[in-house]
Structure 1
Amino acid sequence: MSDNTDSLILQRLQNDGRLSNVDLAEQINLSASPCLRRVKALEAAGYIKGYSAKLDRTKAGFSMTVFIEVRLNNHTTEGIKEFEREVLDLDNIISAYLVSGFADYRLEAVARDLTDYERILKEVQNLPFVKGIQSNFAIRAIKADAPLPLANTFSKTN
């Protein structure tokens, strides 16, 4: 990324991915053609991975968010790869991180209710090399899906 204009483009698109090119160009004080070229370049460079709608989990029927910490009993390269491949196939796991500390992975799951969570828990328990699991139920989201803090930082890091 070359300058703060690219950072402004990314900031605006993070907040509204449906923003038209004309509106985007107007917001960042650029004409439409150069703005579109910059957006296409940011997409090609991988800064923009895609566009999607943010859904309300509760309205979509997922009243529970659960953070699942997983410890493995096999830390070989192949064991880790196999576990990670299997996690990618679990639809209710919406994010997964390799972490430091007591657990090896932290998974974020969404469930419709406790019965649904029990099914998800069994799926996770049956993944290869799972040694132990600890679940933490989210009571209420304080901050979720926040945009990246790009203001005045991109030109410094690239």
Structure 2
Amino acid sequence: MVELDNVDRGVLHELQLDARNRTAQEIADKVDVSASTVRNRIHELEADGIIEGYHPKIDYEKANLPLQILFVCSAPPTERSEMVERILDIRGVVDVRETLTGHRNLYVEAVGTNTADTVRITDAIHESGLSIESSEILRQRRVQPFNHFFFTDPYDNEQGTDEDK
């Protein structure tokens, strides 16, 4: 586990707001450090595996994939992780969330253009050995940046600006 300081937390929050359009200097101005410190911190956060990637937010409906379906599935706990890999290979599956416990332990989000896509994905999930407990057509999904990294004032750089970091 990596110990994050307020600079790291501030950088992570700013990246979550809009990583694509935020420059190191803009983040530095918000976090009250230099742009080089921000670049170094981003590099370290990536190297430590805290930042795993940068992903676009896609409006599937505008991309001619108007059906978004959430499948709530059950998998045997000992096979759950390997089943995730199989499910991700199904054309149309865009997100799989694995829960730690419980009977309904896999949440599979898929997109498609029509009912035939939904049937194909449903059949493929069944063929993989999963039991579908429910399926719902999603209207929209809203995600917000996690901004609760702070236990004190945001961007309070009490530990100084470690330019060498």
User: TM-score if structure 2 supplies the norm length?
Assistant: 0.76
Select 1:7's aligned residue among 6, 9, 26.
Answer: 9
Instruction: Give the direction of change, closer, same or farther, for the CA distance of 1:89–1:36 in structure 2 (3 Å limit).
Output: same
Task: Name the counterpart of 1:87.
Answer: 87
Task: Name the counterpart of 1:135.
Answer: 135
Task: Name the counterpart of 1:146.
Answer: 144
**1:12-54 Cα distance to aligned partner (Å, 9 max, x none):** 1011112121222122221121221111111111121112321
**1:67-118 Cα distance to aligned partner (Å, 9 max, x none):** 112234xx373x4354223112124222223344443422111122222211
Runs of 4+ in 1 over 4 A off after TM superposition: none
Counterparts of 1:37 and 1:85, CA distance in 2: 33
Structure 2 residue runs without a partner (length 5+): 154-165
Q: Going by fraction, where is helix more abundant, 1 or 2?
A: 1
CA contact (8 A) 1:93 1:108 kept: yes
Task: Name the counterpart of 2:67.
Answer: 64
1:153, CA displacement in angstroms? 4.3
Identity of aligned residues (%): 26
User: TM-score if structure 1 supplies the norm length?
Assistant: 0.79
Counterparts of 1:93 and 1:154, CA distance in 2: 40
Task: Name the counterpart of 2:18.
Answer: 16
Task: Name the counterpart of 1:51.
Answer: 54
Instruction: Give the direction of change, closer, same or farther, for the CA distance of 1:38–1:125 in structure 2 (3 Å limit).
Output: same
Instruction: Give the direction of change, closer, same or farther, for the CA distance of 1:90–1:30 in structure 2 (3 Å limit).
Output: same
The code of the aligned residue for 2:23 comes to S
The code of the aligned residue for 2:146 comes to L
Instruction: Give the direction of change, closer, same or farther, for the CA distance of 1:134–1:61 in structure 2 (3 Å limit).
Output: same
Structure 1 residue runs without a partner (length 5+): none
Size of the alignment, in residue pairs?
149
The code of the aligned residue for 1:121 comes to T
